[in-house]
Structure 1
Amino acid sequence: MRRLGGVLAAAILCGAAACTNAPPPPLVPKSEAPVITTTGPKVTEIVVGVDDVAGGYNPHSLAAQSPITTALGSLLLPSPFRNGPDGAPQLDRNLMVSAKVTKAEPFTVTYTIRKDASWSDSAPIAAEDFYYLWQRMRSEPGVVDPAGYRLINNISAREGGKTVEVAFGKPFPGWRSLFANLLPAHLLKDAPGTWSNVLATGFPATAAPFAVKSLDEPRGEVILERSDRYWEVPTTLDRVVLRRASHSDMAKSLSKGDNQAVLLKADASDVNTMKAIKDLTTKPVPRNEVVQVLLRPASDRLKDVTTRKAIVAALDRDALIASGTQSGPSLKADSYVVPPSRTGYQPVITGNTLNAALSDQLLTEAGYVRTETGWSKDGQPFKLTIAAPEKHEPYVGLANRIKVQLNERGIQAEVVTPDADELFGKQLIEKAIDIAVVPRVDAGDSAAGLASAFGCAGEAPDGGTPSPANPAGFCDQTMQAEIDSALSGKALLSDVLARIEPRIQAQAVAVPLFQVVDLLGVLPNVSGVDTGAPLAGVLSGAPEWRRLDK
């Protein structure tokens, strides 16, 4: 930190009765006046402008997904594996000695953690951190890609918790995607509150080259400083600052040099504004987030596939995509599982979904009657509830556009915007919500993503808490064998997807729209600030960032 030095001077004044006739001291010529200087090292920092810094910050919670959550999780929390430039998981040797399959029956993976790896409060990173995350991921609703964790039967520890043995009920080739962003179990396992409170306002402990100096959500600023407790090579930068700003203010800060980089969700106008800034390099940064519309079979009103197909035919998907992307860098998503930016992406959807005549026909087949006020059945109006997480865009805006589109087809609808934790943790495991406009999050293993999004809920292998249903409440036992074969590696994922995605489309349970892609802008006075590894976010490379003008 900068140390300020200075000179403290005091002036003593006297009243007339106490003054003497002694002449005043001579004035010091200006050229001989003492110089007051500041001392101390200069702070080397990089300031990144962002859209928001709002919490929570739990990267495992669907309710907390955002660029800031991804960024802070990838930088501050330990992971046995991290994605390389090609997206393939690579062992993080800053944390691990080794991680490998050590037994075929039962399928067992043994992790050996470095003895010097510890949390910022000096507690060791150990087996209890693996155990805590496993317990939460297999039983909590609204978590990201839980399918792989639900295959685990047991976790045991040796050598003071530094050797972790994870035994699975069946083979799982995607095991390297598990246990990313470990959480400090010693601080969280007995903490009051629920899973939704984990990392709700900050990080109780970190294990990284940087630590959190301050996280001021109302002010919109996060300051990360070099961690004195990190056991590996320290960073060159003293700190990284994330600062919330409007897009126009970001442009001004870049032009003045107050910011060295920005990361924003850009529309066409923003793209042009950033490209006009002198010497600024811009690059697209795909998020691990696909915007989708779920038509929930768990709902009484949409449990019939004919009715769901009628709703899909009433939606103008192309218009929804245009509204959500605003001609920015986001990518149209025509697949139900693999995002467009990922290897293995194969388009499934062709053409627009809108077909007004087909929608009317299917509603009639489902027993609905068109009246002057809209569609009804058995004298009851057909009215749907559309949910989107409160204050989360583009989800709320798209939910309202869907309402308008359905109203134009004579289908009544209302939009509700519950708190994100309430929506993902409760309402999407119940029946009240008919349509949900929510993200599908890619955690790295597409087979687990398939199982998590479209697989049936199952019983816990030890008779414990049953695994929650997927957010759509969808289950088709005729598909489950295919899903299980992809998850266990008995069949190639590409082959399974070629067979199963057309069946998912025929069930009309999801309408993918687009993958959210942010825009990164970087000035030439820094190096190393880049898009980061796939799924990891821009901040994943912050330990290698440099200032070139300091």
Structure 2
Amino acid sequence: MASRVRPVWLLVLLGVLLAACTNSPPPPLVNSPVASTQPSQPADPTQVVVGVDSVAGGYNPHLLANQTTVARTLGELVLPSVFRSAPDGTPQLDQTLMNSAEVTSAEPYTVTYTIRKDAAWGDGPPIAAEDFAYLWDNMRSQPGVADASGYKLITSVSGRDGGRTVEVVFSKPYPGWRTLFHDLLPSHVLKDAPGGWAAALTETFPAAGGPFSIKRLDPERGEIILQRNDRYWGPSTKLQQIILRKADPSGLVKALTGGDDQLGLFPATKSTSDALAGGNHTLAVSTVPNPVLVQLLLRPSTPLMANPKIRAAVAAAFDRDSLISLGTGGGPAGQLRADSLVLAPSRPGFVPTIPGGGSPAKPDPAKVEQSLTEAGYAKTGGAWLRDGQPLNLVIGVPGDREPYSGLARLVQQQLTAAGIGSRVLNTNGDQLFSKVITATPTPTSTTNAAATGDSDSLVDIVIAPQPVSGDPATDLASAFGCRTGLPDGTSSPANAAGFCDRELQPAIEAALTGAMPLSDALATIEPALWKQNIAIPLFQLADVLAVRPELSGVSVGPPLVGPFAGAPEWQRSVRR
């Protein structure tokens, strides 16, 4: 009997095995309210996922090319700074790094810094005077850096007590000295590294000196993992990990509302703002102004734009309102119109200085015609020509960054509509700011470019970021000040506009050194700059900050810094 039953059981077992090996259709998705709002991964209270629009490098926050949210975030969490911003934006000594920092001599003007003895880089060496000297030397001598004018006043940086005491001597008094030596870099790794300063933090952080370190940096995957720095000598962070994860705007909103991300920080366009405001969720949403203005620079260092009549015509050709609308995406940043050449619109007490009526506030076709006619051009067949050569300008743009790349297309369209020819030199920011606009043309190339504007090294218009610091006098000098001499007999690199006015320079220097109140200096300088059509500021960049209720301790942060200033204190609860 048993022998007759066994084949039946074998057939049943074989049928079960065959069924298990077939490609059966998956179970249907459940689209219940619970399924659509619960995170797809188990909650980890020691980890926070932050949705961002990009994690692309480079990450050196001292470069114009890297004025991005992710570069500032990594600098804030991974690199040491002498001063950090208090909640009201005033500089406050970071006592996890420093014992003291104070002016110790008026003549010569000297600031003495004392570093804590336990402050060290994650790979062992102490944070010391050589890190101060490395940053100073590169900030005053390398092209494409941001807010360099304060460093150019320094004549020497020396160390004693094993490098724990740093003496910094200035050529003149500098009231803004507290803005210096933020985001210190590990000189022991970088000073002899291949590529030197130009390659510093291009793809990774070689050593950490802050509360977090980099566990993984993977732009291709769109993810950066920050982990608690176990070698940090200061207070331990509440979280073990912060993950920066890239997604498009719709993906960011979905990840936030679904609980996969606990925080989102991304460009404040109207579409994302509307999606966050209209969703069925409990997100806390706010706008975070960034320390960056978007501007057009009409560079008088090129043969064509050296002619003030051509600059006047170009400025009159732009529809600034349309450029602002496109660049801000119709979102909250549109309320941060940069109607001053120096001060950010988010600054308390901000007052516009842009001239009313005509250009650059509004397009002025009559001004275009008058200025180009006075410059010797005649309009033929819809184009402006002189000596048979069409007016043709080169527009430089960091094509790897938005909103600059999108703005370049509209700038070109507006010039075309005015009969002014142009082409876009679409290169990456590092190349543009450190090489292209700082190149010294040969006499031959200058002669040719004067006729056609067709030399890559002679960029006539740049769509560029203008960093905003806690010291507007420093911003003024960095953006519009003349070159200064260096000890080796050379000069510091020119500003991004390639601009220098020897008549305005004394007032710029007086504001920088405190010899003249900034308001008095700006009252003289800004009208002259507007008249010369050197820069056309557009708007201040801004991010939308969206936070889920299980994440506590998050705020918009100090002015011009942002929410990551408080990241070491963030805490995440597990929602049940």
Q: TM-score, normalised by structure 1?
A: 0.91
Cα offset, 1:196, TM superposition: 2.1
* SS of residue paired to 2:271: helix
Q: Deviations over 1:402-429 (max 9, x none)?
A: 1111111111111111121110001112
Q: Deviations over 1:324-366 (max 9, x none)?
A: 1122111111010111112453211135331001111111011
CA distance in 2 between counterparts of 1:302 and 1:211 reads 46
Q: Specify the alignment match of 1:358 in structure 2.
A: 367
Cα offset, 1:464, TM superposition: 4.4
Query: Aligned to 1:472, which of 497, 510, 518?
Result: 497
CA distance in 1 between counterparts of 2:387 and 2:470 reads 46
Q: Specify the alignment match of 1:434 in structure 2.
A: 460
Unmatched 5+ stretches in structure 2: 1-42, 440-456
Unmatched 5+ stretches in structure 1: 1-40
Q: Specify the alignment match of 2:488 in structure 1.
A: 463
CA distance in 2 between counterparts of 1:411 and 1:249 reads 40
* SS of residue paired to 1:195: helix
Q: Specify the alignment match of 1:389 in structure 2.
A: 398
1:199-214 aligned within 5 A: 199-214=201-216
CA distance in 1 between counterparts of 2:161 and 2:424 reads 54
Q: Specify the alignment match of 1:446 in structure 2.
A: 472
Matched to 1:501, the amino acid is: E
Q: Specify the alignment match of 2:141 in structure 1.
A: 139
1:53–1:222 Cα contact (<8 Å) kept: yes
RMSD of equivalent CA atoms: 1.3
CA distance in 2 between counterparts of 1:406 and 1:44 reads 53
CA distance in 2 between counterparts of 1:238 and 1:507 reads 53
2:268–2:287 Cα contact (<8 Å) kept: no
Cα offset, 1:158, TM superposition: 1.0
CA distance in 2 between counterparts of 1:428 and 1:340 reads 28
* SS of residue paired to 2:264: strand
CA distance in 1 between counterparts of 2:489 and 2:550 reads 55
Query: Aligned to 1:412, which of 414, 421, 427?
Result: 421
2:48–2:262 Cα contact (<8 Å) kept: yes
Q: Structure 1 residue 302 and structure 2 residue 305: aligned? A: yes
1:326-405 aligned within 5 A: 326-330=329-333, 331-343=336-348, 345-349=350-354, 350-351=356-357, 352-405=361-414
CA distance in 1 between counterparts of 2:128 and 2:505 reads 35
Query: Aligned to 1:44, which of 46, 52, 57?
Result: 46
1:344–1:494 Cα contact (<8 Å) kept: no
* SS of residue paired to 1:417: strand
Matched to 1:313, the amino acid is: A
* Residues 480 and 42 of structure 1, relative CA distance in 2, 3 Å threshold: closer
* SS of residue paired to 1:134: helix
Q: Deviations over 1:313-334 (max 9, x none)?
A: 1111111111111221111110
Matched to 1:342, the amino acid is: R
CA distance in 1 between counterparts of 2:268 and 2:75 reads 23
Query: Aligned to 1:318, which of 309, 317, 321?
Result: 321
Matched to 1:248, the amino acid is: S
1:74–1:537 Cα contact (<8 Å) kept: no
CA distance in 2 between counterparts of 1:446 and 1:198 reads 27
CA distance in 2 between counterparts of 1:256 and 1:518 reads 21
2:337–2:345 Cα contact (<8 Å) kept: yes
Q: Structure 1 residue 542 and structure 2 residue 551: aligned? A: no
Matched to 1:345, the amino acid is: F
CA distance in 2 between counterparts of 1:538 and 1:244 reads 18
Q: Structure 1 residue 280 and structure 2 residue 306: aligned? A: no
Q: Specify the alignment match of 2:526 in structure 1.
A: 501
Identity %: 51
Q: Deviations over 1:165-224 (max 9, x none)?
A: 000000000000001100000101111214221000010001111111111110011111
Q: Specify the alignment match of 1:16 in structure 2.
A: none
Once the two structures are overlaid, the 10-residue window that deviates more, 534-543 or 362-371, is: 534-543
CA distance in 2 between counterparts of 1:210 and 1:156 reads 29
1:315–1:354 Cα contact (<8 Å) kept: yes
Q: Deviations over 1:217-253 (max 9, x none)?
A: 1001111111110112211111111110111111111
* SS of residue paired to 2:464: strand
CA distance in 2 between counterparts of 1:335 and 1:510 reads 10
2:44–2:574 Cα contact (<8 Å) kept: no
1:338–1:344 Cα contact (<8 Å) kept: no
Q: Specify the alignment match of 1:165 in structure 2.
A: 167
CA distance in 2 between counterparts of 1:191 and 1:453 reads 30
Runs of 4+ in 1 over 3 A off after TM superposition: none
CA distance in 2 between counterparts of 1:194 and 1:353 reads 44
CA distance in 1 between counterparts of 2:572 and 2:236 reads 15
CA distance in 1 between counterparts of 2:292 and 2:503 reads 28
Q: Specify the alignment match of 1:121 in structure 2.
A: 123
2:150–2:474 Cα contact (<8 Å) kept: yes
CA distance in 2 between counterparts of 1:67 and 1:138 reads 24
Matched to 2:77, the amino acid is: L
* SS of residue paired to 1:530: coil
Query: Aligned to 1:511, which of 513, 524, 536?
Result: 536
Query: Aligned to 1:229, which of 213, 228, 231?
Result: 231
CA distance in 1 between counterparts of 2:282 and 2:328 reads 26
Q: Specify the alignment match of 1:27 in structure 2.
A: none
Cα offset, 1:502, TM superposition: 0.8
Q: TM-score, normalised by structure 2?
A: 0.87
Cα offset, 1:399, TM superposition: 1.1
Cα offset, 1:463, TM superposition: 3.4
